[in-house]
């Protein structure tokens, strides 16, 4: 089914991260992240710029943006002439993306379900910003492996920016420091995630961007 130029697919209705919460957030999301004021969005703009740089974006590149939200990251790739497919499970978020960027393909779908047939192709790069912290480590690893196996061209990469910490000590320090602003979610811990990815034949590099954010560059191992 198509609504306002957005393809609609099955959505998980009852879970810890319901789409309706993000629908409610759509109107204020851009203003909130623009402040980048402490946890969890400290370094937000730098994260998006680092994703763009590490993706080595260029005109004509085919890019899949997972958890595209209101299109802030998508817009950076669109400005460089990339061909873009955007997936999110919030219709109101995607409508904002569509309003900003009429030329992109927007698909309403939940990443915890198989991606729809319309993205059953390979991309030069898969990107994502502030989405993977909704998956525990085992889910992160599985999703990364599925994406590399089914959706990324040989030699391509995933570039993921998110709420992240170098190790569990840094995460605990932030939890204590931010107090009531802390939300208990599945944040990246680099010294746990990188070995877990390497154990399944995936190489990952981590770039810390602030005390609570970082970027992962992920590719199939060449060994």
The CATH number assigned to the domain holding 189 equals 3.40.50.150
Residue 190 lies in a domain: yes
pLDDT number for residue 2:
43
Label the pairing between strands 6-8 and 2-3: antiparallel
Residue 13 lies in a domain: no
Q: Is the pTM of this model over 0.85?
A: yes
Residue 2 lies in a domain: no
Residue 7 lies in a domain: no
Residue 122 lies in a domain: yes
pLDDT number for residue 15:
61
**Distance between CA atoms of 40 and 161, rounded to whole angstroms?**
12
Q: How many CA atoms lie within 13 Å of 116's alpha carbon, on the beta-carbon side?
A: 20
Residue 28 lies in a domain: no
Number of domains in the chain: 1
Farthest-apart Cα atoms in the chain, separation: 46
Kindly state the DSSP code that residue 77 receives in the 8-state scheme: H
Low-confidence ranges of the chain (pLDDT < 70): 1-16, 117, 223
Beta carbons of 215 and 50 less than 8 angstroms apart? yes
pLDDT number for residue 192:
98
β-bridge partners, 128 = 66, 160
Domain hosting residue 149, numbered range: 37-220
pLDDT number for residue 223:
64
Residue 14 lies in a domain: no
What are the tens digits of pLDDT across the range 156-175? 999 999 999 999 999 999 99
Residue 87 lies in a domain: yes
pLDDT number for residue 35:
87
């Amino acid at each position: 089914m198509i609504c306002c130029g957005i393809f609609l697919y099955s959505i998980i209705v009852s879970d810890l991260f319901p789409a309706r919460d993000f629908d409610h957030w759509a109107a204020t999301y851009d203003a909130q992240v623009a402040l980048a004021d402490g946890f969890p969005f400290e370094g937000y703009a730098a994260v998006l710029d680092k994703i763009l740089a590490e993706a080595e974006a260029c005109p004509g590149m085919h890019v899949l943006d997972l958890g595209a939200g209101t299109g802030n990251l998508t817009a950076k790739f669109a400005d460089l002439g990339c061909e873009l497919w955007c997936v999110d499970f919030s219709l109101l978020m995607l409508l904002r993306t569509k309003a900003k960027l009429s030329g992109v393909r927007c698909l309403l779908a939940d990443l915890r379900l198989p991606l729809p047939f319309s993205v059953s192709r390979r991309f030069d790069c898969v990107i994502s910003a502030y989405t993977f912290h909704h998956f525990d480590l085992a889910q992160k690893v599985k999703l990364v492996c599925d994406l590399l196996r089914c959706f990324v061209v040989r030699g391509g990469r995933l570039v993921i920016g998110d709420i992240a910490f170098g190790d569990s000590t840094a995460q605990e320090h932030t939890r204590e420091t931010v107090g009531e602003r802390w939300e208990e979610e599945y944040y990246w811990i680099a010294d746990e995630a990188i070995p877990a990815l390497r154990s399944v034949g995936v190489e990952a590099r981590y770039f810390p961007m602030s005390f609570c954010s970082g970027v992962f560059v992920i590719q199939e191992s060449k060994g």
